[in-house]
Amino acid sequence: MSIDYQQKIPNNVNLAEDRRLQRALEKWQPGYLDWWKGMGPAGTQDFDVYLRTAVSVDAKGWAHFGHVKMPDYRWGIFLAPSEEDRRINFGIHKGDKAWQDVPGEYRAELRRLIVTQGDTEPASVEQQRELGKTCPSLYDLRNLFQVHVEEGRHLWAMVYLLHAHFGRDGREEAEGMLERHAGDADKPRILQAFNEKTNDWLSFYMFTYFQDRDGKYQLAALAESGFDPLSRSCKFMLTEEAHHLFVGETGVQRVVQRTCELMREHRTEDVRKVGGIDLPLIQKYINFHYSICLDLFGSELSTNAANYYSMGLKGRFLETRQNDDHVLKDSAFLVPEVVGDTVHMVEASALNAMNECLRAEYAKDSQRGMDRWNKVIRDAGIDFQLTLPHMGFNRSIGTFAEYHFTPDGKLLNETEWMRRRDEWLPNEEDYAYVATLMGAVTEPGKFANWIAAPARGINNQPVDFEYVRFN
Ligand code: BYC
Ligand code: FE
Ligand code: FE
C-alpha cells in the first residue's frame, strides 16, 4: 500500500477515516516540531539534506532520495503490510488470532513496553544533537541526519500506537515523550544509556554500532508481538534500523582503517602524534559502549520479562525459528552467576531468563562487526586485536551490578577497580584528545584526518557528492 503524502501526517493506516485519531495526532504534531527545532540537530533548520524518505513500505518503494530541509521532512506513520490470519506464535495464547486491539488485561504491560521503546528514539537525537557542528565529511553529516529523521519517525510510530490504542493515558504518555530529555537532571530519559553524552563522532559510530543494535534486538522481539499493530510498526522500523547499524559498523571500520594507515605511514603506534585515534583508545570506547548496552537488556532474571513472553507481548529473536514449544513452561536457559571469584553459567527458568536470552543473541551479533574490524588490522600487518569486554565488565544492572570485573573477566575489589578503571574506559584526557580532532570538514569529498573515506557513496552517488547544502 502506498503512503498518502497529501495529508498533514503521511500514513498508510487510513488515518483520514478516523477523524478523532487524526485530530489528536495533528494536535501532537506542533509539539513534536517544536521539540525538533529546540532539541533536534542543532542549527540545521536551513540545510538541504540528501535524505531517504519512505514512499511506500514494500521492498522497492520505501527508499526515495532527494534534498530536503529537515523540518519539512515528512514524518509519518507506516506499518508493514498485514499478514493474513496472523496468529500469536508464543506464550499462553499461542495459536490464537493476533490481537488488533489491546487486550484489556495486558494494557498496563503493553503501554510500558511501548513507552520504553518510544522514549529511546527522541533521546538518541538529543544525545547526538551537537554533532553536526563537527562532522568529518558531508557524507557523514548526511548519515547523521538520516539517522535523526528516522529516529524521529520511530517516535511517531510509538506515539501513533499510544494515541490509537490507549485513549487518554496514551495521549499523556505521548506528551511525556517530549518532556523527558536525555541527561536532564529532573526529567531524564527512562533507560540510562540514553542519558549518556555523545559528544564526538567516535562515540556516534559506537552508538550506532552498539546502541542501535540493542534497538534492533528489542524491535525484533516486539515484532513478534501478538499485538499486531505493534508487530507491524516494529517490522517497518527494523528496515530503517539496518542503515543505522551500517553507519556504525562502517564508521568504526573507517576509523580503524585510517589508524592503521597512519601507523604504517609514520612507523609508530603513537598515532596521537599525527592526529589519529590509537587502537587502544578505540578499544576503550568499545568497552564503554558495549557494557552500557548490555545493561539495556535488563536483569538476567525478570518476572516482567517472563510475563511479557507468556502474555504474548514480546517474543524472542526470530521466535518462530526457535525449535521448541514456544511456551517454555518447563524449559531452562543458562544465566551467569558469580561464585567465589569466577562466573558460572547456571540453569534458570527460560521464562525468567528472557532478557538474558535476548542479550546472548545481541552479544553474538556484536562480535561479527568486531571480526571485520580486526580483519582490517590484520590485513595492514598490525599485531593487535579488538575484543568485546567480559559480560561482567562495568555493569550497573543485574547480577554483575554489585561486582567489578576487568575486561578479560577477572574479579576486582572496589579499590582496585577505582584505581584501574581509567585503563579500560575512556577518561577525561582521552575524551579531551578526541575532542581536539573534531572540526567541521564540509568540502565535498574531503575527510577529516582521523577517518578513511567510505568505499562508496549513498544511493550510487559519488563520495564527493554534495550530500548537504548549507544555504
Ligand atoms: N537491583 O527494570 P526491570 C532503541 C529487578 S533501544 C536489583 O523491570 P525488565 C534505540 C526488578 O525488580 C531499544 N534488582 O526490567 C537505540 C526486576 O525483577 P523482578 C529500546 C533490580 O522489565 C538507539 C528485574 O530486575 N527498547 O530502540 O525486565 C537509538 C527486571 O528489571 C534492580 C526497549 O528497551 C536493582 N537495582 O526489562 C534509538 C524495549 N533494578 O521483580 C533507539 C522495551 C531492577 O521482575 N523495554 N531490578 O523479578 C523492555 O522490554 C524492558 O523494559 C527492558 C527492561 C528489557 C528494557
Ligand atoms: Fe529507532
Ligand atoms: Fe536506530
Cell of 237: 522500523
For residue 471, what pLDDT is reported?
Answer: 82
State the average pLDDT over residues 358-369. 98
For residue 58, what pLDDT is reported?
Answer: 75
In a 3-state reduction of DSSP, which class is residue 67? Answer: strand
Of the chain, the percentage scoring pLDDT greater than 70 comes to 99
Best substitution site from 304, 311, 354 to test ligand 1's pocket, by max atoms within 8 Å of Cβ?
Answer: 304
For residue 93, what pLDDT is reported?
Answer: 98
For residue 62, what pLDDT is reported?
Answer: 67
Burial class (CB in 10 A: 0-12, 13-18, 19+), 250: buried
Taking 90 as the threshold, does the pLDDT of residue 169 lie above it?
Answer: yes
Q: Note the pLDDT tens digit of each residue in 219-267.
A: 999 999 999 999 999 999 999 999 999 999 999 999 999 999 999 999 9
Q: In this structure, are residues 259 and 202 in contact, taking their beta carbons and an 8 Å threshold?
A: no
Alpha carbons 289 and 61: distance in angstroms, whole number:
34
For residue 1, what pLDDT is reported?
Answer: 61
Q: How far is the CA of 244 from the centre of ligand 3 (A)?
A: 5
Q: How far is the CA of 297 from the centre of ligand 1 (A)?
A: 6
Q: In this structure, are residues 118 and 155 in contact, taking their beta carbons and an 8 Å threshold?
A: yes
Ligand 1 in reach of 298 Cβ (< 6 A): yes
Report which of 33, 71, 16 is spatially closest to residue 49, judged by C-alpha positions.
Answer: 71
Query: For residue 120, which ligand has an atom nearest its CA?
Result: 1
Ligand 1 in reach of 215 Cβ (< 6 A): yes
Q: DSSP characters for 306-352?
A: HHHHHHTSS--TTGGGS-S-SS-TT-EEEEEEEETTEEEEEEEETTT
Tell me the pTM: 0.97
Ligand 1 in reach of 151 Cβ (< 6 A): yes
For residue 4, what pLDDT is reported?
Answer: 75
Domains, in order of start, for the chain: 15-469 (1.10.620.20)
Alpha carbons 378 and 78: distance in angstroms, whole number:
43
Of the chain, the percentage scoring pLDDT greater than 90 comes to 95
Greater pLDDT, 283 or 471: 283
Ligand 1 in reach of 121 Cβ (< 6 A): yes
Q: Note the pLDDT tens digit of each residue in 302-320.
A: 999 999 999 999 999 999 9
Ligand 1 in reach of 240 Cβ (< 6 A): no
> What is the torsion angle, in degrees rounded to the nearest 10, for the CA atoms of residue 408, residue 413, residue 415 and residue 420?
0
Ligand 1 in reach of 307 Cβ (< 6 A): no
Taking 80 as the threshold, does the pLDDT of residue 3 lie above it?
Answer: no
Alpha carbons 298 and 302: distance in angstroms, whole number:
8
Write the secondary structure of 225-240 as one string of H (helix), E (strand) and C (coil): CCEHHHHHHHHHHHHH
The alpha carbon of 258 is separated from its chain's Cα centroid by a whole number of angstroms, namely: 25
For residue 181, what pLDDT is reported?
Answer: 98
Alpha carbons 191 and 335: distance in angstroms, whole number:
22
Best substitution site from 219, 299, 395, 402 to test ligand 1's pocket, by max atoms within 8 Å of Cβ?
Answer: 299
**CB burial string 90-129: b at 16+ within 10 A, e below:** bbebeeeebbeebbeebeebbbebbbebbbbbbbbbbbbb
Distances (CA, A) of 209 to 182, 192, 212, 355, 369: 19, 17, 6, 20, 9
